[in-house]
Structure 1
Amino acid sequence: MMTSNDSSMITPAGPAAEGNSPAEEAPTFDPKTARTAVVSGTFGTALEWFDFAVYGTLSATLFPALFFANVGADTAILASFATFGAGMAARPLGGVFFGALGDKIGRRNVLMFTLVMMGSASVLIGLLPTADLIGIWAPTLLVILRFLQGFALGGEASGVQVLVTEHAPADKRGMYGGILAVGSPIAQTCASLTLTGLALFLSEEAFQSWGWRIPFLMGVLLLLVGVWIRRSIEETPAFRESQKQAQAKAAQEEPQEKALKVIVKRPGTVIKLICSWAASAGLFWICVTYAVNYLTSVLGYDNSITFSLLVIANVISIPAAIFGGRLSDVLGRKKVFFIGLLMQGIAAASMFPIMNSMNYPLSVAVIALALCGIQMTAAVQAPFFAEALPTRMRYTGSALGMTFAGLIFGAPIPFIAAWIFQHSENGTTALTAIGVGLVLISMIASAFLPERSKEALHDN
Structure 2
Amino acid sequence: MNNPGEALDRHADVGAASDGTDMANRAALSSIAGSALEWLDFAAYGAIAATVLPQLFFSETDPTTGALAAFATFSVGFVARPLGGLVCGYLGDRVGRRNMLVFTFLLMGICSFLIGVLPTYASIGVIAPLALVVLRFMQGFALGGEVTGSQLLTMEHAPKDRRGFYSSFIAMGSPLAQVLANALLFGVAALLTNDQFLRFGWRVPFLFSFLLVAIGLFIRMRISETPAFKVEMERKRRGDSQPAVAFLSYAGTVFRLMIVWVAVSVAYFIATVFILSFVTNKLGMAKPTAFAILILAHICSMFAMGIGGALCDRVGRRTAMLVGSRTMLLAFVVFFPLVLSGNTLLIAVAVVFLLCAAQFHAGVQPAYFAEAFPTEIRYRGSAVAYNLAVVVGSSAPFAATLIQAHTGDATWPIVGLGIAFNLLSMLAIYIGPDSWQKTESTR
Give the TM-score normalised by structure 1.
Answer: 0.90
The answer as to 2:109 corresponding to 1:119 is: yes
Unaligned 5+ runs, structure 1: 1-11
Q: Alignment RMSD, CA only?
A: 2.3
Please give the residue correspondences for 1:125-164 in structure 2 after superposition, counting only pairs within 5 Å.
Answer: 125-164=115-154
CA distance in 2, matches of 1:19, 1:410: 30
Q: Which residue of 1 aligns with 2:430?
A: 447
For residues 122-144 of structure 1, the C-alpha deviation after alignment (integer angstroms, 9 at most, x for no partner) is 11111111111111111011000
1:269-303, CA deviations, whole angstroms, 9 ceiling, x for partnerless residues?
01111011011111111111111111111111111
Q: Once the 2 structures are TM-superposed, how far is the Cα of residue 332 of structure 1 from its aligned partner? A: 1.1
Q: Within 1, Cα distance between the matches of 2:26 and 2:302?
A: 20
Corresponding position of 2:337:
353
Asked if the contact 2:34/2:219 (under 8 Å) is kept, the reply is no
User: CA offset at residue 213 of structure 1?
Assistant: 0.5
Offset at residue 425 of structure 1 (A): 2.5
1:91 aligned to 2:81?
A: yes
Name 1:275's counterpart in structure 2: 259
Q: Cα 1:19–1:349, aligned 2, differ >3 Å: closer, same or farther?
A: closer
Q: Is the 1:278–1:406 contact (alpha carbons within 8 Å) kept by the matching residues of 2?
A: yes
Residue 3 of structure 1: aligned partner: none
Instruction: Find 1:388's aligned residue among 358, 368, 372.
Output: 372
Give the corresponding residue for 1:249: 239
Q: Aligned partners of 1:19, 1:332: CA distance in 2, in Å? A: 16
1:92 CA drift (Å): 0.3
Q: Within 1, Cα distance between the matches of 2:136 and 2:402? A: 22
* Change in CA separation of 1:454 and 1:68 when aligned onto 2, cut-off 3 Å: same
Residue in structure 2 matched with residue 417 of structure 1 by the alignment = 400
Distance 2:102 2:436 in 1: 28
Q: Which letter maps to 2:202?
A: W
Once residues 34 and 82 of structure 2 are traced to their aligned partners in structure 1, the CA distance between those partners, rounded to angstroms, is: 18
- Are 1:279 and 1:439, in contact at CA under 8 Å, matched by a contact in 2? yes
Aligned partners of 1:123 and 1:246: how far apart in 2?
40
Answer whether contact 1:417 1:431 (CA < 8 A) is retained: yes
Report how far residue 38 of structure 1 moved. 1.1
Q: Does the C-alpha gap of structure 1 residues 414 and 264 become closer, same or farther in structure 2, counting only changes over 3 Å?
A: same
Structure 1 residues 426, 256: CA separation in 2 closer, same or farther (over 3 Å shift)? same
The answer to whether 1:339 aligns with 2:323 is yes
Which residue in the other structure is 1:324 paired with?
Answer: 308
Aligned to 1:9: none
Paired position in structure 2 for 1:308: 292
Q: Aligned partner of 1:326: which letter? A: A
SS of 2:238's equivalent in the other structure is helix
Q: After superposition, where does 1:25-44 map in structure 2 within 5 Å?
A: 26-27=14-15, 28=17, 29-44=19-34
Residue aligning to 2:57: 67
Change (3 A) 1:290 1:17: closer
- Deviation (angstroms), 1:17: 6.5
Distance verdict in 2 for CA 1:412–1:159, change over 3 Å: same
Q: In structure 1, what residue type is equivalent to 2:268? A: F
Residue pair 2:279, 2:285 contacting (<8 A) in 1 also = yes
Q: Cα distance, 1:18 vs. partner?
A: 6.7
Tell me, yes or no, if structure 1 residue 375 matches structure 2 residue 359.
yes
Per the alignment, in what secondary structure is the counterpart of residue 69 of structure 1? coil
**The one of 176, 179, 185 aligned to 1:186:** 176
**Contact 1:112/1:227 (CA < 8 Å) preserved in 2?**
yes
User: Which amino acid letter does the alignment assign opposite residue 91 of structure 2?
Assistant: L
Q: Which moved more, 1:135-144 or 1:45-54?
A: 45-54
84-93 vs 350-359, greater mean Cα deviation: 350-359
Equivalent of residue 239 in structure 1, options 213, 229, 233: 229
- TM-score w.r.t. length of structure 2: 0.94
1:19–1:319 CA distance, 2 compared to 1 (3 A): closer
1:7 maps to what in 2?
Answer: none
Counterparts of 1:307 and 1:114, CA distance in 2: 28
CA distance in 1, matches of 2:358, 2:430: 17
Choose from 434, 439, 445 the match for 2:417: 434
What SS does the aligned partner of 1:357 have?
coil
TM-aligned CA deviation for residue 455 of structure 1: 5.2
- Distance of 1:269 and 1:191 partners within structure 2: 34
**Pair 1:18–1:295, CA change in 2 (3 A):** closer
Instruction: Name the SS of the counterpart of 2:435 in structure 1.
Output: coil
User: How far off its partner does 1:446 sit?
Assistant: 1.6
How many Å apart are 1:152 and its aligned residue? 0.5
Tell me the distance in 2 between the aligned counterparts of 1:395 and 1:346.
33
State percent identity of aligned pairs: 39
**1:210 maps to 2:194:** no
Query: What whole-Å deviation, never above 9, does each CA across 1:309-329 have from its counterpart, x for those lacking one?
Result: 111112222211112111111
Alignment deviations for residues 101-131 of structure 1 (CA, whole Å, 9 cap, x no partner): 1111111111110111111111111111111
Q: 1:403 aligns with which of 383, 387, 390?
A: 387
- Partner deviation per Cα, 1:315-350 (whole Å, 9 max, x = no partner): 222211112111111111111111112221111111
5+ long unaligned stretches in structure 2: none
Q: How many residues align?
A: 437
The amino acid of 1:44's aligned partner reads: G
The whole-number CA distance in structure 1 between the counterparts of 2:365 and 2:234 is 28
Which is further off, 31-40 or 105-114? 31-40
Q: CA deviation at 1:236?
A: 0.7
**Conserved 8 A contact 2:9-2:439:** no
